[in-house]
Amino acid sequence: MNERAEWWDLFLSASGRTARGPFLMASAALLVFAALYESFGITLHLLTGWLVYPPLLFFATCVLSKRLHDRGRSGWWAALILLSLIAVWPTPRHFLDFLFTGVVVWAVVELGVMPGEQGANRYGPNPLKPAAAV
């Protein structure tokens, strides 16, 4: 499979596993895009937000799910991570946002710092050490 197809698969499929490097690059790209879009102001959001946010959430869900799978966790944890990120974006405002901030910090450590599971798991082979062709 070529590299371009792998990048499209990262953003468009929630199945399988992805290594830390591609996850961090894809997450950074999504966060930069979201920050740039947010910087344009409320008028643009009222007109185009319903076109921009659903695909952005879908792409983020796929990227998060693949990395969670690499850590041996269910992709459903992505819902909690995204809910927490939305709750504290761009800055926490409410008293209970410290709980959401805790989830975001956990996700950063769990997905951005910790290595994936060694060998294959129930979500697929290790993305860093693909199985040798027989």
**pLDDT tens, 53-81?**
999 999 999 999 999 999 999 999 999 99
Question: What band does 123 get if pLDDT is binned at 50, 70 and 90?
Answer: very high
What backbone torsions phi and psi does residue 128 show, to the nearest 5 degrees? Answer: -85, -25
Judged against a pLDDT cut of 60, whether residue 134 lies above it is answered with no
Residue 106 is predicted with a pLDDT of: 96
The SS3 assignment for 124 reads: strand
- What is the pTM (predicted TM-score) of this model? 0.88
> CA geometry: angle at 116 spanning 114 and 118, to 5°?
130
Q: How far is CA 31 from CA 52, 60, 72, 74, 126, in A?
A: 13, 9, 24, 22, 26
Task: Return the closest-CA partner of residue 78 out of 116, 35, 110.
Answer: 110
